[in-house]
Amino acid sequence: MRRRIQRLACVALSFSMLTVTLSGCRAQEAPAEKVTTEIQIPISLSVDPTTGKKGDEDLVTAFNEEYSGKYHLDVTWVLETEDERRRSLKVKNATDQLPAVLTDVRTVPSFYRLLIDDHRIEDLSEEIANDPEWQQIIEPVVMDNTKDSDGNLYLAPISSGAFTCSGMFYNTELFAKAGIESFPATWDEFFKDCDLLKASGITPLALHTEGTGWAPMLIATAKMGETEEGRALMNQIFPSTYESESFEDLAQTLKKLFSYASDDCFNTDFDSAYEKFFSGQAAMIPNGYWMIESIPSDFKNKTRFSAFPGNVLIASPETFGWAITACYSDEIKKGALEFLKFRAKRSQDDKRKFLTLGGSTLAEQDYIKAYLNSPYIMKNYQTLWNSNLQEKIIPADLPDLARGKISTHDFVLDCNKSIAEFKEK
């Protein structure tokens, strides 16, 4: 599984680029030089810019071997950060050059909505509904969360939510230097430990402000799980208002979190936070299971994983759904559908092996324990809140909020203004 570290990070293109009117949806065939007896299925996958590892390479190899002579995934391996990859996909959409299979498009709400409104991706509802085997391997909660607000299914779901949870990674060596023996169980203990780390000359948190503010927003939204009001807000899709006590608390938490981060964290993206953590300059970083495979070898024995304080995990199985681009021949789209079913079956097998074998690294073992320890599962804000708030307000306001240039109430009001702007679009 690839390192979806900016999973959730969004890059702002000009509005005209995002809303370009396409002249039509022409049927695309595989490039002439690729034509063989096999149907070529174009797909773009990332190469981790930090480790050089090709994301989902094992999945691609397994599919191409099983369907040899019939279908072949024609992969373009892209050495880009997640922000750069998403920027590239937006440009390809505008120029009608998208690959046949689109990965992780729901992590950028405005782009996902644009694809649906412009009929650029297929509704897969009927195909999956008419395939009992496919339906059976998808956990009901994953299926429900992946469906769009219109009831259609534009994303082929991953089969299980087991690999989709986020919590906190921490450095045991830095904890030990501050006299901390284990990860804090409560939020009061968490902030006390941050104070201990800071007093020991250690930066407690690796944070950033660009994109959708993934790292600080993970922590702040997880803390909303302390109250019933906070949990209720995190179950709403496109809330009608952000003016509430729990959202004021979120703003307060965000401001406090940045007091435990380095001074150079502003106007940086998740890659910078990742480098800060894995260079030993920060003690904690929030992220999901997918980062485990990107832990450098010299950090494997000192990097651990925990649920957030209060036994909270944040899950986002819907962001792992992959789409089929509409502008391809029926042959290619049929092959893409076979691949997405193959992916779902393989992820179910991977879950069984993973939970049975218990993980090969300390962080994996920690993750399994956290997942099986009856955590409270919260939804990912990236799938709940409007794109204006995520892609404009958050990256613009977080630095000002942290530096005291705007108040927490100003932050809430700006978030609330995003609702009307989003509806206008």
- Does 104 share its domain with 174? no
- Does 55 share its domain with 156? yes
Report the pLDDT value the prediction gives residue 425, as an integer from 0 to 100: 63
The reply to whether 5 falls in a domain is no
Residue 304 has pLDDT above 50, yes or no: yes
- The string of pLDDT tens digits covering residues 361-381 is 999 999 999 999 999 999 999
- Does 103 share its domain with 118? yes
The reply to whether 6 falls in a domain is no
Report the pLDDT value the prediction gives residue 353, as an integer from 0 to 100: 76
Residue 34 has pLDDT above 70, yes or no: no
Name the domain boundary from 349, 372, 395.
372
Residue 41 has pLDDT above 50, yes or no: yes
- Does 237 share its domain with 382? yes
- Does 289 share its domain with 340? no
- Does 295 share its domain with 420? yes
Residue 129 has pLDDT above 70, yes or no: yes
The reply to whether 360 falls in a domain is yes
What is the CATH number for 396? Answer: 3.40.190.10
- Does 179 share its domain with 98? no
The total of structural domains in the chain comes to 2
The reply to whether 228 falls in a domain is yes
Segment 283-306 shows an average pLDDT of 95
Report the pLDDT value the prediction gives residue 360, as an integer from 0 to 100: 81
The reply to whether 287 falls in a domain is yes
Report the pLDDT value the prediction gives residue 47, as an integer from 0 to 100: 81
pLDDT over 70, % of the chain: 89
Cross-strand partners of 43: 75, 101
- Does 68 share its domain with 154? yes
- Does 251 share its domain with 324? no
Report the pLDDT value the prediction gives residue 307, as an integer from 0 to 100: 98
Report the pLDDT value the prediction gives residue 377, as an integer from 0 to 100: 92
The reply to whether 9 falls in a domain is no
- Does 103 share its domain with 247? no
Segment 308-325 shows an average pLDDT of 93
- Does 108 share its domain with 181? no
Please tell me the distance from the alpha carbon of residue 421 to that of residue 425, in angstroms, as a whole number: 7
The reply to whether 46 falls in a domain is yes
The reply to whether 253 falls in a domain is yes
Compute the mean pLDDT over every residue in the chain, rounded to the nearest whole number. 87
- Does 238 share its domain with 349? no
Segment 406-416 shows an average pLDDT of 96
- Domain interval for residue 293: 165-314+375-424
